[in-house]
């Protein structure tokens, strides 16, 4: 996932998108999302670079290189083997790489789980059968069976299309002589992985499903094509939001019934998209769209033509739209235009991270031949954003508008950062101070060594220093003369020598200990039974290596509803016209309440408890039934109570109705 300097994904200037409903834009972005930091090829280079953000690791690597050069070359002397530093450093970095790799593997698993989640697409059954790849129908929809749809094919014969028109009609009358045919198309519900959704695909979602991409709503099971979504994963709000299908004008197209079945909605959409007409043409390219006039202009044109020719008033009344164009449409139409079938298209804004606004235009095929296409504006109420959850809606169908990295959720997300704990920052500052003190001491020691060697060179024969190479050992004249060194190291060589001697100023064991402690803390978090959610079988998961910062937390800022509380409301008491119903609430400690209950149990059944009478229960479930009108007249308003009979009273029903319509909740 690419990101700009500020952490957000950089956006290129793009123009508006044009999508044909039912046509998968496979050349565009797929619907896969990647939150992992590394791949197999980039893990070692990137992870090693992250390890050397620690000043201590850079320090020990530098010391190891200095020791290595001093040990295996003549540039300077090294008093310690380089492997005493490079070996432990390699172990520390290896442990850190294992931790980083373990955390990134968890991200890869989550990405795979998200990208391979099953989704349902509406596809032409013929395309599934002809495909070389194995494509599976979803068994949860109509038991995996296809839907047969009968579609009309309008085709004008060549002879009839060239019929000459009378002079009186050539400029004002539209005559269409057509042969109507029907064809049968099978519609299938294909099960695909979420990553295989492309812009233009028609997606079927069910209740409690996560919206797999940014989708323009087209049909739902609710009345009026509305749907409810929960956007807690997007904006943190738990209240449901209402989204609606595009509203089709009544005067342009006959509206369907208020509530559709899934089969009806699928058939309707197939007749408007490439699912039913694979060779259809974009409805936005209808040449008659250029001659669309406003209602005022059409009315003026109609009145002007009607005043000139009263003979054709009845024809004008039945074909008002054709008359409004003054015959210009007939002159512009050609045989090719008549034989084309138009399908719905979507003109959408380019991908952007604004989750509160959306602008687009849905173009539907004309309601009848000779009409321009139907244009419906779209706004934020018509789009379902990726990450939202469908609620209180049995099913919903929509067209994928933005997929994968183009979705608004991904555009608002940050790349997975390489977090640096406060403990690491503190150790870096400490290393800087120690290194500064070390350089000062090494400089003083190197200066002292150079001055001492130059002033007392002849006295250091026991170091093997002597300007006379033929001189024998002092006090041992019988031994052959050794290979005397006639010079000493300069200041730079002395500096590197003392660096190797004092390299333990920065303790390598500190980093080893921190890595071991971090690894153990992650293990204990993952194994903690107190952080295990049994209902969803979800244990705690430490996905970051900065768990050491948990001990430095002083304040926690959090919302209350649904986070610190369960967001479950339970009835305690209610007050109706000043009369309180329900058990009294005692504001005492749990211990005092328990002691009181124990005392009541010891008192026995002889005492009458103050909580024995429940007026609300008596009100809701009464022992008096309401007799019919005939029974009342026969019994002279005398009510008969049968033993053990409990029915819902009229007062209880009205009480519940009033309380559900008009109430105030105090938490």
What are the tens digits of pLDDT across the range 75-119?
888 878 899 889 888 988 998 898 889 889 988 999 999 999 999
Torsion of CA 310, 311, 316, 318, to 10 degrees: 130
Confidence of residue 258 (pLDDT cuts 50, 70, 90): low
With a cut of 90, say whether residue 220 has pLDDT above it: yes
Q: Is the pLDDT of residue 335 over 50?
A: no
DSSP assignment letter at 248? P
Q: Cα(590)–Cα(596) distance, rounded to whole angstroms?
A: 10
Residues of the chain above pLDDT 70, percent: 71
**How does residue 638 score in pLDDT terms, banded at 50, 70 and 90?**
very low
Beta pairing, strands 214-220 & 383-384: antiparallel
What's the CA gap between 87 and 419, in Å, rounded? Answer: 26
User: Which of the residue ranges 249-258, 458-467, 523-532, 629-638 has the most confident prediction, judged by mean pLDDT?
Assistant: 523-532
This prediction has a pTM of: 0.64
Reported as a pLDDT band with limits 50, 70 and 90, residue 10 is very low
Q: Can you tell me the distance from the alpha carbon of 554 to that of 514, in angstroms, rounded to the nearest whole number?
A: 22
Whole-number Å distance between alpha carbons of 371 and 342 = 12
| pLDDT of res. 292 | 54
- CA–chain centroid gap for 220, Å, is 22
pLDDT band of residue 181 (cuts 50, 70, 90) is: low
Structural tokens at position 46: 């990137």
CA–CA dist 319, 336 (Å, integer): 23
Q: Write the pLDDT tens digit of every residue in 517-541.
A: 888 888 888 888 888 888 888 888 8
Residue 26 predicted with pLDDT over 70? yes
pLDDT at 128 over 50: yes
Identify any residues that bridge with 622 across adjacent strands, giving them in sequence order: 647
CB 393 within 8 A of CB 207: yes
Structural element, H or E, at residue 135: none
Rounded to whole angstroms, the maximal C-alpha distance in the chain is 149
Helices (H), 236-312: 262-270, 295-308
Say if residue 176's pLDDT is above 70. Answer: no
Q: Is the pLDDT of residue 444 over 90?
A: yes
Gap between the Cα atoms of 325 and 329, Å rounded: 6
Q: Left if phi > 0, otherwise alpha if psi is -120 to 50, otherwise beta: which for 225?
A: left
**Residue 374 CB neighbour total at 10 angstroms:** 21
Integer Cα distance of 590 and 593 in angstroms: 5
Structure tokens at 129: 């059968």
d(CA 333, CA 353): 43
The 10 Å CB-count burial string (b at 16+, else e) for 575-603 is: eeeeeebeeeeeeeeeeeeeeeeeeeeee
The tokens 């990553």 sit on which residue?
195
Place of tokens 């936005």: 284
Given a contact cutoff of 8 angstroms between Cβ atoms, the answer to whether 355 and 234 are in contact is yes
Q: How far apart are CA 411 and CA 432, in angstroms?
A: 39
How many Å apart are CA 390 and CA 262, to the nearest integer?
16
pLDDT of 463 reads 75
537 token code pair = 């079988």
pLDDT for 322: 36
Residue 310 has what pLDDT?
Answer: 37
Torsion 634-638-644-645 (CA) sign: positive
User: H helices of 142-222, where?
Assistant: 158-161
Q: To the nearest whole number, what is the mean pLDDT of the chain? A: 75
- Helix, strand or coil for residue 258? coil
- Say whether 77 sits in a helix, a strand or coil: coil
**DSSP H or E stretch at residue 179:** strand 179-193
212 pLDDT tier (thresholds 50, 70, 90): very high
How many Cβ atoms are within 10 Å of 468's Cβ, its own excluded?
10
Q: How far is CA 473 from CA 455, 465, 487, in A?
A: 21, 11, 18
> Which among 385, 376, 378 has a CA at the least distance from the CA of 356?
385
Please answer whether residues 441 and 494 qualify as being in contact, where contact means their C-beta atoms are separated by less than 8 angstroms: no
Q: What is the pLDDT averaged over residues 58-78?
A: 88
**Which helix H or strand E contains 154, and what residues bound it?**
strand 147-155
Q: Residue 106: what are its φ and ψ, rounded to 5°?
A: -65, -35
What percent of the chain stands above pLDDT 90? 25
Q: Which two tokens stand for residue 84?
A: 């005493």
pLDDT, one tens digit per residue, over 242-256 is 999 987 655 444 444
Give pLDDT, residue 318: 32
Structure confidence at residue 468 as a pLDDT band (50, 70, 90): confident
DSSP-assigned states of every residue in 571-582 = ---EEETTEEES
Q: What is the pLDDT of residue 557?
A: 85
Q: Which residues contact 475 (CB under 8 A, 6 or more apart)?
A: none
Q: Which helix (H) or strand (E) holds 148?
A: strand 147-155
- Is the Cβ–Cβ distance between 580 and 573 less than 8 Å? yes
Taking alpha carbons only, the member of 244, 214, 239, 213 closest to residue 227 is: 244
Q: Is 20 helix (H, G, I), strand (E, B) or coil?
A: strand
């Amino acid at each position: 996932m690419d990101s700009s300097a500020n952490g957000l994904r950089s956006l290129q200037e793009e123009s508006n998108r044009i999508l044909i409903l039912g046509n998968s834009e496979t050349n565009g972005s797929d619907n896969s999302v990647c939150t992992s930091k590394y791949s197999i090829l980039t893990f070692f280079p990137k992870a090693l670079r992250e390890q050397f953000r620690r000043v201590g690791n850079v320090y020990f690597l530098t010391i190891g290189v200095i020791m290595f050069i001093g040990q295996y070359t003549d540039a300077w002397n090294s008093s310690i083997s380089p492997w005493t530093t490079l070996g432990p450093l390699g172990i520390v970095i290896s442990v850190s790489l294992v931790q980083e790799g373990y955390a990134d593997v968890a991200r890869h698993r989550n990405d795979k789980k998200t990208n391979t989640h099953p989704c349902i697409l509406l596809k032409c059954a013929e395309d599934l059968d002809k495909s070389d790849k194995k494509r599976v129908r979803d068994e949860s929809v109509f038991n995996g069976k296809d839907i047969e749809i009968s579609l009309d094919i309008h085709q004008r014969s060549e002879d009839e299309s060239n019929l000459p028109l009378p002079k009186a009609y050539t400029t004002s009358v539209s005559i269409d002589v057509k042969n109507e045919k029907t064809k049968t198309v099978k519609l299938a519900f294909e099960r695909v992985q979420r990553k295989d959704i492309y812009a233009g695909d028609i997606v079927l979602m069910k209740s409690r499903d996560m919206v797999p991409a940014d989708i323009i709503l087209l049909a739902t099971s609710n009345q009026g094509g509305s749907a409810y979504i929960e956007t807690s994963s997007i904006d943190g709000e738990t209240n449901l939001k209402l989204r609606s299908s595009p509203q089709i004008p009544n005067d342009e197209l006959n509206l369907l019934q208020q509530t559709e079945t899934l089969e009806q909605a699928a058939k309707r959409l197939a007749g408007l998209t490439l699912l039913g007409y694979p060779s259809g043409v974009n409805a936005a390219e209808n040449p008659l769209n250029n001659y669309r006039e406003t209602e005022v202009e059409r009315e003026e044109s109609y009145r002007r033509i009607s005043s000139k020719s009263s003979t054709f008033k009845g024809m004008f009344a039945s074909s008002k739209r054709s008359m409004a164009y003054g015959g210009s449409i007939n002159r512009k139409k050609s045989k090719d235009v008549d034989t084309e079938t138009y399908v719905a298209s979507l003109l959408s804004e380019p991908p952007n991270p604004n989750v509160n606004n959306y602008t687009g235009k849905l173009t539907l095929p004309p309601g009848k031949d000779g009409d321009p296409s139907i244009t419906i504006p779209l706004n934020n109420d018509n789009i379902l954003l990726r990450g939202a959850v469908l609620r209180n809606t049995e099913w919903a169908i929509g067209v994928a508008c933005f997929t994968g990295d183009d979705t608004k959720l991904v555009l608002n997300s940050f790349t997975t950062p390489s977090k640096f704990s406060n403990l690491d920052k503190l150790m870096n500052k400490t290393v800087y101070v120690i290194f500064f003190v070390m350089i000062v001491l090494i400089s003083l020691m190197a200066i002292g060594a150079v001055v001492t060697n130059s002033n007392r060179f002849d006295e250091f024969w026991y170091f093997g220093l002597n300007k006379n190479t033929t001189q024998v050992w002092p006090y041992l004249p019988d031994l052959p003369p050794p290979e005397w060194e006639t010079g000493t190291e300069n200041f730079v060589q002395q500096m590197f020598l003392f660096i190797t001697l004092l390299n333990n100023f920065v303790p390598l064991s500190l980093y080893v200990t921190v890595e071991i402690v971090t690894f153990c803390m992650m293990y204990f978090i993952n194994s903690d039974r107190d952080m295990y959610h049994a209902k969803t079988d979800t244990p705690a998961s430490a996905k970051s290596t900065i768990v050491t910062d948990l001990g430095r937390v002083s304040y926690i800022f959090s919302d209350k509803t649904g986070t610190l509380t369960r967001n479950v409301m339970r009835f305690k008491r209610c007050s109706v016209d000043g009369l309180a119903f329900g058990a009294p609430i005692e504001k005492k400690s749990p211990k005092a309440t328990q002691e009181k209950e124990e005392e009541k149990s010891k008192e026995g059944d002889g005492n009458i408890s103050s909580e024995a009478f429940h007026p609300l229960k008596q009100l809701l479930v009464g022992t008096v039934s309401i007799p019919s009108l005939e029974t009342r007249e026969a019994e002279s308003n005398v009510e008969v109570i049968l033993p053990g009979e409990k029915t819902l009273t009229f007062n209880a029903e009205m009480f519940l109705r009033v309380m559900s319509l008009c109430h105030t909740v105090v938490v």
